[in-house]
């Protein structure tokens, strides 16, 4: 069946010359050829992402045009075509080309595009959609995937990633495009002359930086803090540096070897601040100058990692849960007056630490499914109803949103606030690790972990299903000596209370996730990956000391792994 698509490409006389040459190279490698054509590159709820190259299962100008055609139909269907679409892109191979191809397809349908002239962070695209009152947005990025990948992320008129209901409509429009090679794209120069392709830059940057001033909680504190920042060859340098400078920081040191955009991400194994190896150069520079704080962003600048020196002078990379807890406590603890209807929004696999901190300030917490689009969706809902005032949103995977002028996780905002938090505690003779220890002493020692199991192919898919079915249907009464008090099945959107056997509905969209709530703020959760052949196991425990929490975490994991290995 895949050979029909291959032949269609092979016989297409107007095929892009570079893609035609690469397609010819594939003819000697049957397996690679099949992989390039055996399916269409899937456009899911987060857009699409894949390897670059020729084929229906690859990122190229034709599959991008197909996605853009679906977006154009979506925008017209919503009656918003006159408002246009904002488009940004990162430092990857073909990113700007794909951005222009998107604009050309939209322009063919009479839809204006607002395209940045050079690479920009994903959160600035979210801001630009709102600032320009656009109908939608697109970011060409593959986040922190390897260099051979690129992607297409779609945003709604609120500046958030498409939530499920909107995503399903657009996915349907994309899937109805029968032949990606036949999607029409207007001439770039003609679109520019007609005002249907408009280049944007300084005005949006200036507006974003003005909004960024609102992230500051204590504008007048002393900011004598030595910072090392690396954008990991991505998009964040300009806005992070300017944001820090306008906030009052003067001792900013950039890791120059990683400051220049580089589609190969040549100095790191993975351009992901969640991976400690990404901090190696920043740590070397930090030690050389005695820096108080290290920060790293991923290529599209929606994730921030933070590292601080311990008492031995060695830099410790904080987890996303730890950084989130510090930012949250600072916002709530240093704000002049907290709203009575204030709200923290986090995901179901993010630490309970945040909820406990918020509760201590009288602030309510709300859990969403994994993915920042759900946090953005809730911000919009409460903005419209006035029921709650958004205070902070975060997820364990290094994503934070401080102010809602963007509707996606924003590492630029997070970097400016993290620096301020570091300065606040330095003024009191403390580091972020000291501040974290104080939070643990006050609220309990929260500790989290994540395990992933890779199960590939058809048999792997069947194994993942069997694991989910087993845990979903088993009567697990305890884990690590902690009693199971409730089981949350997000596929059925049901929370079952174990002791009295009552049930209640979970007011969230369906998702193939099972979470076991244990006593004393402990839990574990199972979730198949939406993008890889993996099943993920999340753990969270709380005890009085680090040692006790480490032992408890090991015990809970052992309980889960014992059952898991019996299944495998």
Beta bridge partners of 307: 294, 317
Q: Across 143-280, where does the E strand assignment appear?
A: 149-155, 197-200, 227-230, 252-254
Calpha distance 308→226 (Å, rounded): 11
Catalytic residue among 81, 113, 143, 511: 143
Structure tokens at 73: 């139909």
φ and ψ at 394, to 5 degrees? -160, 165
CA 342 to chain centroid? 24
3-class secondary-structure state, position 84? coil
Calpha distance 62→105 (Å, rounded): 11
Calpha distance 389→340 (Å, rounded): 8
Structure tokens at 433: 């690790």
| CB-based contacts of 479, cutoff 8 Å, min separation 6 | 516, 518, 522, 524, 555, 556, 559, 560
Nearest 10 degrees: CA dihedral of 401, 406, 408, 410?
Answer: -50
CA 307 to chain centroid? 20
Secondary structure letter of residue 182 according to DSSP: G
470 in Cβ contact with 563 (< 8 Å) = yes
3-class secondary-structure state, position 544? coil
| CB-based contacts of 232, cutoff 8 Å, min separation 6 | 258, 265, 268, 271, 272, 273, 278, 296, 297, 298, 299
φ and ψ at 218, to 5 degrees? -125, 90
Secondary structure letter of residue 81 according to DSSP: G
Secondary structure letter of residue 367 according to DSSP: E
Structure tokens at 267: 């100095």
Calpha distance 366→359 (Å, rounded): 11
Closest CA to 521 of 362, 347, 353, 397: 353
- Note if 143 is an active site residue: yes
Structure tokens at 451: 């395990």
Q: H helices of 454-496, where? A: 457-473
Calpha distance 100→359 (Å, rounded): 47
Secondary structure letter of residue 52 according to DSSP: B
Q: Looking at the chain, how many residues does it have? A: 568
Calpha distance 261→91 (Å, rounded): 6
CA 9 to chain centroid? 34
Strand 389-395 with 364-368, pairing: unpaired
Closest CA to 561 of 481, 447, 480: 480
Active site residues: 143
């Amino acid at each position: 069946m895949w050979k029909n698509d291959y032949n269609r490409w092979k016989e297409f006389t107007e095929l892009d010359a570079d893609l035609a040459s690469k397609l010819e190279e594939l003819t000697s490698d049957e397996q690679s050829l099949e992989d390039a054509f055996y399916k269409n590159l899937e456009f899911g709820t987060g857009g699409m992402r894949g390897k670059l190259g020729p084929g229906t299962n690859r990122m190229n100008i034709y599959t991008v045009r197909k996605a853009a055609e679906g977006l154009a139909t979506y925008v017209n269907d919503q009656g918003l075509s006159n408002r246009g679409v904002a488009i940004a892109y990162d430092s990857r191979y073909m990113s700007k080309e794909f951005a222009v191809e998107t604009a050309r397809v939209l322009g063919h349908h009479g839809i204006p595009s607002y395209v940045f002239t050079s690479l920009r962070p994903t959160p600035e695209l979210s801001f630009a959609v709102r600032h320009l009152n656009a109908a939608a947005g697109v970011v060409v990025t593959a986040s922190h995937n390897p260099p051979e990948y690129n992607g297409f992320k779609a945003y709604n008129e609120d500046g958030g990633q498409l939530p499920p209901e909107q995503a399903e409509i657009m996915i349907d429009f994309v899937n109805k495009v029968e032949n990606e090679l036949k999607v029409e794209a207007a001439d770039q120069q003609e679109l520019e002359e007609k005002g249907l392709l408009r280049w944007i830059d300084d005005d949006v940057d200036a507006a974003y930086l003005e909004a960024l001033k609102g992230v500051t909680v204590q504008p007048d504190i002393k900011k004598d803090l030595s910072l090392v920042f690396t954008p990991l060859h991505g998009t964040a340098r300009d806005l992070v540096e300017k944001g820090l400078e306008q906030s009052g920081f003067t001792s900013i040191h950039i890791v120059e070897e990683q400051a220049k955009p580089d589609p190969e991400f040549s100095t790191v194994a993975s351009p992901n601040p969640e991976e400690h190896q990404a901090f190696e150069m920043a740590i070397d520079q930090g030690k050389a100058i005695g820096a108080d704080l290290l920060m790293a962003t991923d290529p599209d600048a929606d994730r921030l990692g933070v590292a601080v020196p311990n008492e031995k002078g060695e830099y410790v990379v904080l987890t996303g849960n730890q950084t989130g807890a510090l930012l949250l406590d600072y916002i709530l603890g240093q704000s002049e007056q907290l709203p009575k209807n204030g709200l923290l929004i986090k995901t179901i696999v993010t630490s309970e630490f945040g909820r406990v901190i918020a509760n201590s300030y009288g602030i309510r917490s709300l859990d969403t499914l994994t993915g920042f689009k759900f946090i953005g969706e809730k911000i919009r809902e409460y903005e419209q109803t006035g029921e709650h005032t958004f205070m902070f949103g975060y997820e364990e995977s290094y994503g934070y949103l401080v102010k809602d002028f963007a509707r996606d996780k924003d590492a630029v905002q997070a970097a400016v606030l993290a620096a301020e938090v570091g300065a606040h505690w330095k003024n009191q003779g403390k580091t972020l690790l000291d501040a974290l220890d104080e939070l643990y002493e006050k609220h309990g020692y929260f500790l989290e972990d994540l395990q992933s199991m890779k199960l590939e192919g058809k048999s792997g898919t069947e194994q993942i299903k069997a694991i989910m079915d087993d845990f979903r249907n088993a009567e697990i009464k305890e884990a690590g000596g902690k009693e199971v008090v409730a089981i949350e099945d997000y596929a059925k959107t049901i929370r079952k209370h174990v002791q009295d056997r009552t049930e209640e509905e979970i007011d969230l969209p369906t998702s193939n996730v099972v979470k076991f709530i244990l006593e004393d703020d402990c839990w574990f959760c199972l979730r198949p990956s939406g993008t890889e052949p993996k099943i993920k196991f999340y753990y969270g425990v709380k005890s009085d000391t680090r040692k006790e929490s480490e032992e408890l975490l090991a015990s809970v994991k052992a309980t889960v792994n014992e059952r898991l290995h019996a299944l495998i």
